[in-house]
Amino acid sequence: MHIVGIGASAGGLASLEDFFRNTPSDTGMAFLVVQHLDPNHKAMLAELLQRYTEMPVFEAQQNMPVRADSVYVIPPNRELRVVDETLKLEEPAQVRGLRLPINVLFSSLASARNERAIAVVLSGMGSDGTLGLQAIKATGGLSVVESPESAQFDAMPKSAIAAGCADIVAPASEMPARILAYVRQVPEPGDSPGQSPSGPTHSLVRLAPILKLLQKHTRHDFSLYKPTTLNRRIERRMVIHGISELDDYTRFLADNPQEVQLLFRELLIGVTEFFRDPGTWDYLTETGLPDLIAHRPRDGTLRAWVAGCSTGEEAYSLAIAFTEALEQAEPGRAPDLQIFASDISPEAISVARRGQYPLSIENAVSEARLARFFTRHDRYYQIRPSIRDKVLFARHDVILDPPFTRLDMIACRNLLIYFDLALQRRILPLFHYSLRPNGLLMLGSSETIGRLNHLFAPLKPKMRLYRCKPFQSARHSDFLLKSFPPMSTLPREQPVSSSQTPPQGATNTLQSAADHVLLQSYAPAAVVLNANADIVYISGRTGKYLEPAAGKANWNIHAMAREGLREPLYSALKKASGQQEPVELTGLPVQTEAGTQAVDVIIRPLGEPDAIKGMTMVVFRDAPAPAPSRRRSPAAAARADQAALSQQYQQEIDSLRQQAKESREELQASNEELQSTNEELQSANEELTTSKEEMLSMNEELQTINTELQTKLDDLALAQSDMCKRAPDLAPSGAGLGTRKPR
């Protein structure tokens, strides 16, 4: 049974009327209605909705079972949840004005019904319902939002649309037909993928234009995913938009970049939970991890990678299991643990970083672990910092990006099942390359290593736990190098010799040729920086003073400056930005490949010509070494050198002290200003938020009461008209009473 959760607020009664007037009474679905109501006022919503539908309308009661072809309405001063197919009522935890009952219903609906959950957001003020729609989307349910043009109050629909949560946007009167079309055409969970009633499975050749559009906008390549998975998800988006032909949907995608992002999110499978497959986790905690810990160096750090972590439950489960195993192996010693958790979905990574999970995780996490590793709040559990700090979340594509290495364990659960065989044979050797000898590989219950027995040895085949074998071959290495070549994208400075041919156009005249040789051979090394301190031009050989930083190419001078230059350059650039005169630094000790070299630096702001206006030139020169005196004795020379060296060190110490003092004063002043501004903004924000929520709440309650009073007036007018028709001998008076006519 599909359960439809409907959320409305101010002005929502008219939208509810349009919705139920157009809803058949035999859909086979149940409808749960939540509206912002006055907690001290008796609600008439059930009676009002009964006029617009032939389905029975009930006011929800505690533990009431949910039946098909029925409507259930929230009572005043309560929060409505769904557990299995039963209604649960609770008193609101938040004060009046801050309650979000629509989010509460949608979140519980997502947990209880998964793909069979349908959420509808109608007219209303505020943003209630947006977070709940995100939960519905994450579990594969359907999100429907009233079009802002047709809503009496468009704040709630606009909030949901802006968050990218809306699968269908339509007027309330059209929603029932769109929902029924979706339910009839999209295959039920558990059916064979790709065998939906909408038509036959499309081949990868026909899906190629769609996959190219996805790769162009998201950089992620889905061509090696299983066609059945691709077909099912694409068919779902086609049904949502009422498109029956694949070519039409391809054109629709090309014209709507937002739909490309929605399809991208649709293709990402985000189903996970804490300690999934408990037997596997019990074995891992009691046997697998203790054995792994016993064979590692005592001073080493354990490193693990959770590939395809989704919203983070798997990564936190692994961190908890590692923590318990480490404490049993080495009591009283703080565990050294680092877990990398990666996914290509930015939304899933954001949820994982917050570390907030619904109260329903109590079904999967023991009471002892909840008490120790989580902090309970009114509506969610928060991961404690002791576990959160052990996990590093990052956006990472296991297909395209270089892998994490020197790992003790990799957990890749139910990700490979969506890849075709060719991609699986590429990813599993990659995992072997990333693991240390005897490292652990944990796969999902439906995944295996296939024919790669020379790379992995099964520990518990039924549990899909494997140990990494020491294996190396030329073929294996070639495969990895071709798949993930070493980073060689950084531009390298080419040495210039006098024998090299000058650039075209520089040898047209004797003067230009001589200038070219002089600049290359005798001019000092220099760079030109833009306003962000990024290098935009290089003159001469700067390799002695600058070097590319490891990792992604970064042309910022602060990242490229060698040891000894970075701090003085930062202060000097900051000082030069506020004046026209050049800033000079002398005798800076720079660590080069040949040892320590004294360097003079000149920072000159550039004001003309217009092409370089606002930029800064940094010039490097090697400081001349003092000439030794021939008349001094060796002892005197040694003393003089020592004195000169001491003086140089003292000058450097004084300079560093002055820089540190200036930086400390600037930072202290900035910190005080920021702290003061932050406190003022926070105070103002709290006041505005409270006032806004109270006004919204009062406005919604007044709207509801006004609608009910208007309905009563209509009923009284109808009753008066009936009385007049039934008693023709009574004439209405000004007070609404009749007087008998004389015969």
Residues with a known catalytic role: 9, 36, 128
For residues 51 and 204, the answer to whether their CB atoms sit within 8 Å is no
Query: What are the E-state strand segments in 278-416?
Result: 302-307, 337-343, 356-358, 374-376, 380-383, 391-395, 407-412
Cα separation of 586 and 602, whole Å?
Answer: 9
Token pair, residue 438, equals 């005897």
DSSP symbols for 441-485: EEE-TT---TT-TTTEEEEEGGGTEEEE-----HHHHHHHHHHS-
Token pair, residue 410, equals 């990799």
Query: What are the E-state strand segments in 399-540?
Result: 407-412, 435-443, 456-460, 465-468, 525-529, 535-539
End-to-end CA distance of the chain: 66
DSSP symbols for 559-583: HHBPTTTHHHHHHHHHHHTT-SS-E
CA distances from 371 to 83, 116, 368, 376, 669 (A): 23, 32, 5, 8, 42
Characterize the bridge pairing of strands 356-358 and 380-383.
antiparallel
Cα separation of 696 and 679, whole Å?
Answer: 25
Give the residue from 446, 375, 469, 419 showing the smallest Cα distance to 221.
419
Who's near 250: CB < 8 A, 6+ residues apart? 209, 210, 213
Amino acid at 71: V
Token pair, residue 522, equals 């005798």
Cα separation of 78 and 298, whole Å?
Answer: 55
**Cα 692 to chain centroid, rounded:** 28
SS3 at position 732: strand
Angle at 353 between CA 225 and CA 388, to 5 degrees: 120
Directed axis angle between helix 227-240 and helix 257-267, to 10°?
130
Give the residue from 705, 703, 697, 699 showing the smallest Cα distance to 98.
697
Sheet of 535-539: strand order equals: 535-539, 525-529, 616-622, 595-605, 583-592
SS3 at position 203: coil
For residues 73 and 62, the answer to whether their CB atoms sit within 8 Å is no
Amino acid at 509: T
Report how many helices (DSSP H) and strands (DSSP E) the chain contains, helices first. 22, 26
Directed axis angle between helix 130-138 and helix 101-113, to 10°?
10
